[in-house]
Amino acid sequence: MSAVSYYTAEGLKKLREELDYLKSVMRPKASQDIAEARDKGDLSENAEYDAAKEAQGMLEMRIAKLEEVHSNARLIDESQLDVSKALVLSNVKIKNQANGMEMKYTLVAESEADLKSGKISVTSPIGKGLLGKSVGNVAEISVPNGVLKFEILEISRD
């Protein structure tokens, strides 16, 4: 049995959209590619046919994986989350004690992490270090380069 994954409403919607796209657009396209390659003659020496079949197999594996993830997905009820501690879906403003730099991150499930948009995974070293901390706490996070110390300045929810 696969592990349960927790999603925000937005993350679950993206997962469903990708699954629908693969099933309704990419699957028929893969079948079309195989049909076109089959029409080109002898299948024993048809590299295009082999490539199309392999691409279809990879697509079907991706669809099966996403269906499994979707079946084990759970929606996070944001109203039940404690706002006094850094948890999944918390917006956390932190200050690096070494250089005084302030950063703001949203803690999300691993599947929704996107550093460019300020979303870090709760399974990342920084995410793990921030979980359960309150405003004023200092999170000491071990990284390959040593130990980073971040002071929690603010915790909020959108």
State phi, psi for 153 to the nearest 5 degrees.
-95, -35
Q: What does each of the 158 residues of the chain score in pLDDT, given as a tens digit?
A: 456 677 777 788 888 999 999 999 999 999 999 888 888 777 677 788 888 999 999 999 999 998 988 888 877 766 666 677 888 778 899 999 889 899 999 888 877 888 898 899 888 888 889 888 888 899 998 888 888 899 999 888 76
pTM listed for this prediction? 0.60
Does domain 5-75 fall into CATH 1.10.287.180?
yes
Residues 6+ apart with CB under 8 A from 140: 129, 147, 148, 149
Instruction: Give the start-to-end residue ranges of the domains of the chain.
Output: 5-75, 78-156
CATH node for 78-156: 3.10.50.30
Contact of 104 with 90, CB cutoff 8 Å: no
